[in-house]
Amino acid sequence: MAPVGEAVYSQAVQPLLAEQISYEEAWTKGIQPIRAFMLKQVRDKDLELFIDLSKRPKPATIDEVPIHVVIPAYILSELRIAFQIGFLIYIPFLIIDMVVASILMSMGMMLLPPAMISLPFKLILFVLADGWNLVIGSLVKSFQ
């Protein structure tokens, strides 16, 4: 994302601040790198969904897709990736909950909340597995 920010700054922000271009021209020049980045990350299925929802004719090329279609398609694609990452993080925690609950039930401790016992195990698992590194690594890899 840094190259996109640098491109926007050099092509749109600096000339605008130097009063070399108008606001409209700065918008046009500044949105192009962002649009290219979003189009590279968006799924075709999400893009088609928002093209259909906009009730406009389907563009002949990807460059003709309007920005008001690209932005929500990009957001939907990112939400899908976030949901997948969250689900993959949730699975080991669910297994820990189930194991702790079954152990407590087998010991006859039905009134003791399993979440109270499993929370330290979840934290230990997250720390030992270097959870933050895995989460941030997954986020960064989703942009490649």
DSSP state, residue 22:
-
Q: In whole numbers, what is the pLDDT of the chain averaged over residues?
A: 90
Alpha-helical segments (H) within the chain? 2-8, 14-17, 23-41, 44-53, 67-106, 114-128, 131-141
Q: pLDDT digits over 35-64, tens only?
A: 999 999 999 899 999 999 988 888 888 888
- Cβ neighbours for 84, distance < 8 A, ≥ 6 positions apart: none
CB atoms within 10 A of CB 37: 19
The domain segmentation of the chain, as residue ranges, is 1-41, 42-143
Q: pLDDT digits over 66-116, tens only?
A: 999 999 999 999 999 889 988 988 999 999 999 999 999 999 888 888 888
**pLDDT at residue 57, rounded to an integer:** 87
**pLDDT at residue 144, rounded to an integer:** 66
Predicted TM-score of the model (pTM)? 0.77
Torsion of CA 37, 43, 49, 50, to 10 degrees: -10
